[in-house]
Amino acid sequence: MKLTTLKLVTIVAEAVLQDQIIDGIQALGAKGFTLMSSEGQGSRGRRTGEIPGVNIRIETLVSTELAEKIISYISENYFEHYAVICFLTDAQVLRGEKYC
């Protein structure tokens, strides 16, 4: 079976950032994405009594090169002022050319 290894980029961010992050990753070249809602709490949010906030979780399957562009974009634009998480995992797909 001919599987291609791509990168799954996962971004978890405050819901208010949804549209600008989706626009940003599509402008960089991502051809599709999956969007889920989530709750969460990070190292910025551990004040006593705080309730976890509403977040979005975006996934996109891309080449390693594009994955690194996306993680740089997220880091440069959001890490300083927002509680955004971005991580890459290896994912194997059939027909990898669809994603590149």
Contact map string, positions 56 to 95, toward a second copy, x by CB under 8 A: -x---x------x--xx--x---x-----xxxxxxxxxxx
∠ Cα 93 99 100 (to 5°): 120
Concatenating the DSSP letter of every residue in 45-89 gives: ---TTPPPEEEEEEEEEE-HHHHHHHHHHHHHHHTTTS--EEEEE
Contact map string, positions 22 to 61, toward a second copy, x by CB under 8 A: ---------xxxxxxxxxxxxx-xx-----x--x-x---x
- Is residue 6 near a second copy by the rule CB under 8 A? yes
How far apart CA 31 and CA 73 sit, in angstroms, is 16
Which residues of this chain interact with a second copy, rule CB under 8 A? 1, 3, 6, 8, 10, 12, 31-43, 45-46, 52, 55, 57, 61, 68, 71-72, 75, 79, 85-95, 98-99
